[in-house]
């Protein structure tokens, strides 16, 4: 049998990089045990939801045309509602991505004259065009829906005083983003989100609270819907798709709000009755089944990366010991070359397209060039091992995913190998 060190070496990872990584990994045993406990809890939650809703082989059948009474689709939506403890859920391949799911939740439940409030800082980059923060064709702003924002305080906590001032008679919905996205603030815990929701609802009980849950699913044992979120929204090519869903988004929440999303997604009058699942259901169910352990693998990768790069003196967010609320790891390199070499390493460790060299490019929806490394089975899937970063200060790379822990480890070691080769890091 070829020794494992030889295989690492054949794959391009030098001995010093491997032994540095192995030393770090040894110290993470306790921490990894905790992650496995959360995965165990969430695995039970998912299996129980599938059992309670009587998932059967018939749910994987091909449905075409209008998709009336599509059993697989309707049952899957019940499974999601059970997992998120909500009245209802919309889970569809016709929701093309996370941004689409969020845009849908907003546009379906806001009307001209309403105001959307972001009480915890700027939302995700692609939502700037959805809302109209950056002028854009078809934005909410074009339909007379206004927007206001309260930034976090210097210490990263909620600015309750200004949130109170920002809520007025027009304020209809509040949008909170769990994950940091392309910001260097910490991600919020579900508990923190619950406190913010309770605060705004005390001031105005009929406010609709929407949480962008992208990257957060199954990282904790509760979800935003457990702490008062009226709509919890995410992408199936992130955590809840478990790497198998090839497309899709979900919105879990209050029945009336989810119905409105259905009418917006398809058409007034038709709503959720139509939308055939086209044979995709087996992957949605099986991906959801795998999602708790896939999220755990990704989380281990994030923590491994944090520990490695912190030890080497780079600012890492979250740091090596902080509690985790999503699977994202940011590493600040301070120079564009750091971001670029890191991404090259992640790409070189991929099962698909490992020979490709990623380059920064002007991606639609983003306001600076972005570099992306993803040798994924599903295009752009960021539950698979991936890294990306906007080429702008502080030149931070955002690393996430890894369907298995051994692959996440390989990717991070390869990123380090590339930084060593470029002379940015010396071991
Ligand atoms: C990925 C992400 C989105 C957008 O999802 P896409 O599938 O890329 O459109 C929105 N919000 C957050 C926090 C995200 O991480």
Rounded to 5 degrees, what are φ and ψ at 195?
A: -65, -40
Distance 213 CA to ligand 1 centre (A): 9
CB 89 within 8 A of CB 80: yes
Look up residue 361 and give its DSSP letter.
Answer: B
pLDDT of residue 106: 98
Q: Is the CB of 98 under 6 A from ligand 1?
A: yes
pLDDT at 419: 98
User: Which pair of tokens denotes residue 377?
Assistant: 């089975």
* Predicted confidence (pLDDT) per residue in 142-190, tens digit: 999 999 999 999 998 999 999 999 999 999 999 999 998 877 788 999 9
Give dist(CA 18, CA 26) in Å, integer: 12
* Residue 104 binned pLDDT confidence (cut-offs 50, 70, 90): very high
> What pLDDT score was predicted for residue 181?
81
If you average pLDDT over residues 370-374, what whole number do you get? 92
**pLDDT higher at 396 or 185:** 396
Evaluate: CB of 187 within 6 angstroms of ligand 1. Answer: no
pLDDT band at residue 65, thresholds of 50, 70 and 90? very high
β-bridge pairing 396-400 and 88-92: unpaired
CA 234 to ligand 1 center in whole angstroms: 8
According to the model, what pLDDT value does residue 62 have?
A: 97
The Å distance, Cα 179 to ligand 1 centre, comes to: 9
pLDDT(136) > 80: yes
The Å distance, Cα 25 to ligand 1 centre, comes to 30
- Please list, in sequence order, all residues whose beta carbon lies within 8 angstroms of the beta carbon of residue 346, skipping any fewer than 6 positions away: 373, 374, 385, 386, 387, 399, 411, 414, 415
pLDDT computed for residue 125 by the predictor = 87
Strands 146-149 and 386-390: unpaired
* Cα 311 to ligand 1 centroid, rounded to whole Å: 29
Nearest CA to ligand 1 atom 6: 98
For residue 248, is pLDDT > 90?
Answer: yes
Can you give the pTM of this predicted structure?
Answer: 0.96
Taking CA atoms, 28 is separated from 22, 149, 302, in Å, by 10, 39, 12
238 CA distance to ligand 1 middle (Å): 9
- Which pLDDT does position 96 carry in this prediction? 97
Atom of ligand 1 nearest to the CA of 215: 15
Please say whether the dihedral angle defined by the alpha carbons of residues 301, 305, 307 and 308, taken in this order, is positive or negative: positive
Please tell me the predicted confidence (pLDDT) of residue 47. 98
Question: Mind spelling out the 3-state secondary structure of 35-70?
Answer: HHHHHHHHHHHHHHHHHHCCCCHHHHCCCCCCCCCC
**312-358 tens-digit pLDDT:** 999 999 999 999 999 999 999 999 999 999 999 999 999 999 999 99
pLDDT score, position 414: 98
Percent of the chain with pLDDT over 90: 94
Q: Buried (b) or exposed (e) across 408-422, using 16+ Cβ within 10 A?
A: bbbbbbbbbbbbbee
Nearest-atom number in ligand 1 for the CA of 179 is: 13
Whether 262 shows a pLDDT value over 90: the answer reads yes
Query: Per-residue pLDDT for 45 more than 80?
Result: yes
Sheet holding 316-317, edge to edge: 316-317, 329-332, 396-400, 386-390, 370-374
Between CA 89 and CA 73 the distance in angstroms is 11
C-beta 99 within 6 A of ligand 1: yes
Rounded to the nearest whole angstrom, what is the distance from the C-alpha of residue 217 to the centroid of ligand 1? 13
- Pocket lining: 215 vs ligand 1, CB cutoff 6 Å: yes
Asked whether the bond before 318 is cis by omega within 30 degrees of 0, the reply is yes
Is residue 212 lining ligand 1, measured as CB closer than 6 Å? Answer: yes
DSSP bridge partners of 147: 116
Measured from the CB, is residue 241 less than 6 Å from ligand 1? no
Q: What is the mean pLDDT of the chain?
A: 96
Residues 6+ apart with CB under 8 A from 167: 117, 200, 203, 204, 207
């Amino acid at each position: 049998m070829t020794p494992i060190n030889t295989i690492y070496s054949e794959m391009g990872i030098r001995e010093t990089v491997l032994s540095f990584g192995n030393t770090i990994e040894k110290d993470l045993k306790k921490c990894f045990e905790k992650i496995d406990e959360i995965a165990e809890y969430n695995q039970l939650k998912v299996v129980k939801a599938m059992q309670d809703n009587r998932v059967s082989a018939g749910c994987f059948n091909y449905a075409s045309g209008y998709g009336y009474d599509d059993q697989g689709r309707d049952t899957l939506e019940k499974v999601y509602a059970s997992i998120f403890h909500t009245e209802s859920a919309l889970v569809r391949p016709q929701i093309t991505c996370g941004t689409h799911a969020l845009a849908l939740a907003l546009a379906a439940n806001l009307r001209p004259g309403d105001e959307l409030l972001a009480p915890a800082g700027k939302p995700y980059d692609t939502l700037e065009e959805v809302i109209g923060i950056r002028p854009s064709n078809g934005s909410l702003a074009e339909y007379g829906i206004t927007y206001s924002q309260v930034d976090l305080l210097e210490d990263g906590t909620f600015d309750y005083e200004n949130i109170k001032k920002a809520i007025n008679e027009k304020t209809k919905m509040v949008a909170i983003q769990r994950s940091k996205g392309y910001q260097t603030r910490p991600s919020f815990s579900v508990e923190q989100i619950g406190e913010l929701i309770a605060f705004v609802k005390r001031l105005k009980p009929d406010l609709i609270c929407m949480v962008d849950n992208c990257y957060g699913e199954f990282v904790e044992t509760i979800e935003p819907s457990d702490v008062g979120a009226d709509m919890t929204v995410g992408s199936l090519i992130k955590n809840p798709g478990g790497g198998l869903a090839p497309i899709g988004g979900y919105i879990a929440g209050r029945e009336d709000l989810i119905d409105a999303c259905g009418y917006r997604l398809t058409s007034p009058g038709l709503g959720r009755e139509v939308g055939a699942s086209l044979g995709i259901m087996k992957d949605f169910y099986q991906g959801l089944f795998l999602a708790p352990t896939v999220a755990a693998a990704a989380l281990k990768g994030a923590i491994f990366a944090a520990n490695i790069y912190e030890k080497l003196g780079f600012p890492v967010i979250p740091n090596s010991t902080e509690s985790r609320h999503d699977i994202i790891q940011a590493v600040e390199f301070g120079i564009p070359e750091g971001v670029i070499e890191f991404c090259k390493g992640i790409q070189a460790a991929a099962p698909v397209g490992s020979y490709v060299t990623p380059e920064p490019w002007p991606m639609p929806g983003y306001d600076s060039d972005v570099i992306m490394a993803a040798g994924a089975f599903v295009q752009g899937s960021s539950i698979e091992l991936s890294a990306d970063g906007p080429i702008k200060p502080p030149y931070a790379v955002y690393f996430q995913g890894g369907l298995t822990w051994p692959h996440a480890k390989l990717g991070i070691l390869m990123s380090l190998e590339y930084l060593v080769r470029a002379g940015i890091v010396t071991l």
